[in-house]
Amino acid sequence: MSESAPRKPLRPRLSTGVNGLDTVLLGGLIPAAVYIVQGSPGAGKTILANQVCFHRADLGEHSLYVTLLAESHDRMVEHLSTMSYFDAKQVPESVYYISAYSVLEQEGLEGILRLLTHERKTRGASLIVLDGLFVLEETVHTEAEFRKFVNNLSAFANLSGCTMLLLTNSARGPHSPEYTMVDGWIELGRQQMDYHSHRFFQVHKFRGSGFISGNHMTNISDEGIRVFPRLESSLGRVRGAATEKTTVSTGIASLDQMMGGGIRGGSTTLFVGPSGIGKTTLGLQFIAQSTPEEPGLIFSFYEGKDDLVDKAQSLGIDLEALIRDGTVEAIWQPATENTLDELGYELLEAVQRRGVKRLFLDGINAFQQSAEYPDRIRRFLAALTNVLHSEGVTVASSLVTEELMGVENRVQLGSISAAVQNILLLRYVEINSSTRRSISVVKVRSSAFDPAIREYFITDEGVVIGEQFQQADTTQTEHGHPRRIQGDS
């Protein structure tokens, strides 16, 4: 039979107000559809659902929050009132809470549907949250009865134009009928790692649209729930406009010379070396070149703002003044239990907020340490540096080698080197029973560079690069024995 179905324009997506969620859903929920939000107690289902309700209230819409649980919703509202999104003025006019517990006891599933029908109409609700779907599973006598009810909810949503969120802590598997019948299935979970756990969010099903699959980290704060779409998945395809081929200074003229005249604008340069060798010093000189037109950002994991200001001062750089007049911003993140994507988004937001053009990322290792799954780091850093490149940000980053000795053999650049264009190696050199510093360029993409290993000094005017080592040059090995690196004595 030839059917003519004039195409109806797609209904606009329903924004959720949950930061990151709409990105994962490629634009938000599809209206007039039913979604299961699944998660164990404490996973954040109630926080998420209420966040959506209050967001819709801000847009002038009405929501109905129906709880099937025996516990009082007054108590839930009391807990929610600490959330910044909670607006008491919106209750009860725009967000209306009712308990359906007694209706379920007295009138069964049909009673619930009649209640939803009546209250939707009375409240003019465009969003209904049904909190406690698992209670219905326990109430019904047969699986068929439950399936029929979920099917009826689906028809109700479709007919009434109402979007529904069904919250459940049931651990039923993907083959359970409710997941087959609803339009979307979202899971909030917690993953136990060695000593800590992290929260994640996953879309299992989203009818009528694509979505960013896989696990995405989440956090819950007094601002509600936030989803961090896996950076390499959500931003991995960002392709910036071809950046103008500019050359920028490292802040040290002699180092610029070593690198073929400077570094390419929008590139990433890595300073690799052991603790105390001078990586942060190089970074501070790089960031001191920031201007109000090309602002700078220091994103550091090991040294806080005050330490950096002191260190800069010892190099003749007035970092405090640069921070005060807004030319530079310094953000310190303790290298503790961060999640990779959270760090990535915080960094990118700080870059985009001020139109940063120079970034000093002090301690790129912290990204590696924050990677819940280490095999992600290569793609993550590739995506991150790709976005920074597309924003025209020139990046200098320090990578601390784990051991003071044995730099040469121990540098594990595998996951990082693909994402950087230039690499500088900083090493301790033992000569005549004294320890000196050496600097060498090991990689500069698309440019010739000076391959010499040179000595450098940290003075009160910053880094001064000296002559090429000529004789008996050695670096320290992991065993503390001299190892020849160039020339013969």
Partner 1 sequence: MSASQLALTSPCILLVEDEPSILFTLTILLEEECYRVITANHGREALQRLAVEVPDLIITDYMMPYLTGTELIEAVRAEPKYAAIPILLMSAALPAHINPYDIADSYLQKPVDLEKLYSVIKELIGN
State in angstroms the smallest separation of the CB of 174 from partner 1: 22
Query: In this structure, which amino acid lies at residue 398?
Result: S
Alpha-carbon gap, residue 155 to 15, rounded angstroms: 22
Task: Please give the torsion angle defined by the CA atoms of residues 321, 324, 328 and 329, in that order, rounded to the nearest 10 degrees.
Answer: 140
As measured in angstroms, the least distance from the Cβ of 110 to partner 1 is 8
Asked if residues 216 and 24 have their Cβ atoms less than 8 Å apart, the reply is yes
Min dist CB 347 to partner 1, Å, is 44
Q: Which is nearer to partner 1, 139 or 152 (CB)?
A: 152
Closest Cα to residue 58, out of 173, 253, 224?
A: 224
CA distances to 11, 65, 103, 142, 348 from 138, in Å: 35, 20, 15, 10, 46
Q: Please, what is the minimum distance in Å from the beta carbon of residue 113 to partner 1?
A: 6
CA-CA-CA-CA torsion for 247, 248, 252, 253, nearest 10 degrees?
Answer: 40
**Toward partner 1, which CB reaches closer, 76 or 113?**
113
The residues of the shown chain that bind partner 1, judged by CB under 8 A, are: 1-6, 8, 32, 110, 113-114, 117-118, 121, 148, 151-152, 154-156, 158-161
Residue 448: other Cβ atoms inside 10 A:
9
Task: Between 148 and 204, name the residue whose CB sits nearer to partner 1.
Answer: 148
Question: From start to end of 89-236, where are the E strands?
Answer: 95-99, 125-131, 163-168, 184-192, 197-206, 215-221, 224-228
Q: Convert 312-333 to b/e letters by CB count within 10 Å (16 or more is b).
A: beebebebbebbeeebbbbebb
φ, ψ dihedrals at 240, nearest 5°: -75, 165
Tokens of 455: 């000595």
Shortest Cβ 265–partner 1 spacing (Å)? 53
Specify the DSSP class assigned to residue 29: B
Of 161 and 480, CB closest to partner 1: 161
How far apart are CB 138 and partner 1 at their closest, in Å?
A: 22
Judged by beta carbon, residue 152 or residue 368, the one nearer partner 1 is 152
Distance (Å) of CA 344 to CA 217, 258, 263:
12, 31, 24
* Nearest distance from C-beta of residue 194 to partner 1, angstroms: 47
At CA 27, angle to CA 370 and CA 168, rounded to 5?
70
Q: Give min distance, CB of 54 to partner 1, in A.
A: 25
Q: How far is the CB of 239 from partner 1 (least distance, A)?
A: 38
- Beta strands in 147-192, from DSSP E residues, in sequence order: 163-168, 184-192
Nearer to partner 1, 32 or 407 (CB): 32
Give min distance, CB of 140 to partner 1, in A: 15
Taking a C-beta distance cutoff of 8 angstroms, is the pair 16, 52 a contact?
yes
Cβ closest to partner 1, residue 1 vs residue 88: 1
Phi, psi values for residue 331, rounded to 5°: -120, 125
Name which of 9 and 173 has its Cβ closer to partner 1. Answer: 9
Here the tokens at position 249 are 């200074």
- Is the CB of residue 271 less than 8 Å from the CB of residue 250? no
Beta carbon of residue 8, minimum distance to partner 1 (angstroms, whole number): 7
**How many CA atoms within 13 Å lie on the side-chain side of 179?**
16
- Complex with partner 1: residue 13 or 436, whichever CB lies closer: 13
3-state secondary structure of 244: coil
**Choice between 35 and 201, CB closer to partner 1:** 35
Q: Which two tokens stand for residue 22?
A: 């709409």
* Size of the chain, expressed as the number of residues it contains: 489
Nearer to partner 1, 76 or 181 (CB): 181
**Contact status, residue 358 vs residue 394, Cβ threshold 8 Å:** yes
Distance in Å, CB of 120 to partner 1, minimum: 9
The DSSP bridge pattern shows strands 473-476 and 482-486 to be antiparallel
The answer to whether 426 touches 271, Cβ cutoff 8 Å, is yes
Nearer to partner 1, 15 or 117 (CB): 117
